[in-house]
Structure 1
Amino acid sequence: MTRAVLQFQAWSVAPDEEPDAEPITFGAQCAVCLRTSSRSTLQQDVADWVRDHAARNPSHHSYRELIQRPLRAWMPHTVNP
């Protein structure tokens, strides 16, 4: 019979602010028809899409903001067995 030794580690998670991190992107989704805007690094592009979509669909008043933010995870206190 083989035995395994498990060691549980605490991980930390935070926004990835390294120079090579992916950009934060924004989008929107209509809560009525579920159509989604394209992703953009500019929030104004998303606001323009919401206004245009609402103008074309006067009964669509509810939207979801979609934010994609890069994260990084690391073990701050790694103990060597």
Structure 2
Amino acid sequence: MSTRAVIAHADWTVRPDREPDAKPHTYAQECDVCGEGSPRSTDQEVGSLWILEHVRANPSHHSYTQIVKRPFHAWMRQP
């Protein structure tokens, strides 16, 4: 019994996926105080409106984080 291995150097590239079939960018906001979050949406305004509703109900919650999901694409360069 013998074992054979093939090892090659591969040069990979990664970039944002801008192809027509790429997933859309999505956005959400998260309260830094309690961890509650807005629904994920392709419209950034949905998260901003959620913050206003959340701060009305929780006047001491002043800090928020935006969470962005952006598609990326990886491919191997040809030698």
Identify whether the pair has TM-score above 0.5, normalized to the shorter chain: yes
Gaps (5+ residues) in structure 1?
A: none
- Determine what percentage of the aligned residue pairs are the same residue: 46
Write the deviation string for residues 12-57 of structure 1: whole angstroms up to 9, x where unpaired.
1111111111111000111111011101111111100011111111
Matched, 1:24 2:25: yes
Q: How does 1:6-25 map to 2 (within 5 A)?
A: 6-25=7-26
TM value normalised by structure 1: 0.87
Letter of the 1:31 partner, please give it: D
Letter of the 1:29 partner, please give it: E
Aligned 8 A contact 2:10 2:77 in 1:
no
Structure 1 ranges of 4+ moved more than 3 A = none
RMSD: 1.2
Aligned 8 A contact 2:28 2:66 in 1:
yes
Gaps (5+ residues) in structure 2?
A: none
Write the deviation string for residues 36-81 of structure 1: whole angstroms up to 9, x where unpaired.
110111111110001111111111111110000011100123x4xx
2:69 matched residue in structure 1: 68
Question: SS at 1:53's partner residue?
Answer: helix
Q: Number of residues paired by the alignment?
A: 78
